[in-house]
A = this chain, B = another copy of it.
Amino acid sequence: MSLKIPIETSARHIHLSQQDFEILFGSGARPTFVKELSQPGQYACKERLTVAGPKGRFEKVIVLGPCRSCTQVELSVTDTRRLGIPSVIRQSGDLEGTPGCLLVGPKGKVQLEKGVIVAKRHIHMNPVDAMRAHVKDNDIVFVITTSYERSLIFSDVVVRVSPSFSLAMHVDTDEANAFANEDNPAGVILKLFNGHTYSLQTWADELQAGINR
């Protein structure tokens, strides 16, 4: 239960389909590798795009590689509000019914019909980590963080298990700012009530009343 999980902040970023990549950066263009990310095979690209919504735009938003089957834009709630786009919290790849936005690149534009999400917070881990933490793929857990002035406990955290994953929890910039502003933040899993807060108060009330189930 004492598995210590590095917490990484995902700033706003874009995953592109090969088709959209070529519309935005030119026919035959391919992502330019700049830097590996924590998850094996994923990398930051040199390419940048403008992301625009009804109320605002962000310039120079980073593109991550490699290309995926569907284009996906990941923003924080603060970001979606600035753009005037609804905040829809989803796991990566679950894009049905999500809002769209306008992507502007050096060679063209793409008006997305869907694909803008606020990423649901999640933990990547491999099967060995999962055994150590007594969790399985798609479990929902709490994650306890500590910081000097604003520790918090994340609820509704999805566990994703795959041999290709490296141990890391991903939160967006709002979530990162809400709990800490420190170097090398980490969390530990609290596996109770399937990660839902609504049972926790009852449990605490019972404990304080001397009831131990």
Where the two chains meet, the residues of A that have a C-beta atom closer than 8 Å to any C-beta of B are: 1-2, 76-78, 81, 87, 89, 120-121, 142, 144-146, 148-156, 173-175, 177-179, 181, 188, 190-192, 196-198, 200-201, 204-205, 207-208, 212
Contacts and interface: CB of A to CB of B under 8 A. Distances in A.
Given A150-B89, A151-B197, A152-B197, A190 B204 contact: yes
A201 to B, nearest CB: 5
| Majority DSSP secondary structure for residues of A touching B | mixed
A25 to B, nearest CB: 28
Contacts of A208: 1, 191-192
A58 to B, nearest CB: 12
A186 to B, nearest CB: 12
Contact of A77 (B142, B155, B177, B198): B177
A154 to B, nearest CB: 5
A181 B77 contact: yes
15 contacts: A2-B201, A76-B78, A78-B173, A78-B174, A89-B148, A89-B149, A144-B200, A144-B201, A145-B197, A149-B156, A150-B156, A152-B197, A174-B174, A174-B177, A190-B201
Contact of A200 (B156, B190, B201): B190
Nearest to A179: B178
Given A77-B177, A149-B89, A1 B204 contact: yes
In the A-B complex, list the 3 residue pairs whose CB atoms are closest, starting with the nearest.
A77-B177, A178-B178, A153-B153
A120 B149 CA distance: 7
Contact of A150 (B145, B146, B153, B155): B155
